[in-house]
C-alpha cells in the first residue's frame, strides 16, 4: 500500500453506503492512464492507498458482486 501525492479523482463504489459501513473509492482516471487501480477507504481519505492491477481489480469487483447476491 502506498499514499498518493498528486491530486486524484476518486469515485465511490456503488456498493458503498453513507451510514458508516463499507466505503470504498477507486480512481478510474488513474487506472486508465497507468493500468494501476488506486483503491482506498473513503472514511480515511488521507490514509493508505491500495494499488492493484486492472485484472486484480476486476477480480475484486466480481467477488463483491457475488457476495451481494
Tens digit of pLDDT for each residue in 18-38?
665 668 899 999 999 999 999
Q: Where are the alpha helices (H) located in 19-68, listed in sequence order?
A: 28-34, 54-67
Q: How far apart are alpha carbons 39 and 48 in whole angstroms? A: 9
Average pLDDT value over all residues in the chain: 82
**3 pLDDT higher than 60:** no
Band of residue 67 on the pLDDT scale cut at 50, 70, 90? confident
> pTM of the prediction?
0.71
Are 60 and 42 within 8 A, CB to CB? no
Strand order in the sheet with 24-26: 11-12, 24-26, 36-41, 50-53
Q: How far apart are alpha carbons 29 and 12 in whole angstroms? A: 13
Amino acid at each position: 500500500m502506498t499514499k498518493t501525492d498528486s491530486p486524484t479523482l476518486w469515485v465511490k463504489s456503488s456498493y458503498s453506503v453513507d451510514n458508516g459501513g463499507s466505503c470504498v473509492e477507486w480512481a478510474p482516471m488513474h487506472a486508465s492512464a497507468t493500468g494501476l487501480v488506486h483503491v482506498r477507504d473513503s472514511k480515511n481519505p488521507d490514509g493508505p492507498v491500495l494499488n492493484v492491477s486492472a485484472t486484480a481489480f476486476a477480480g475484486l469487483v466480481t467477488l463483491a458482486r457475488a457476495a451481494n447476491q
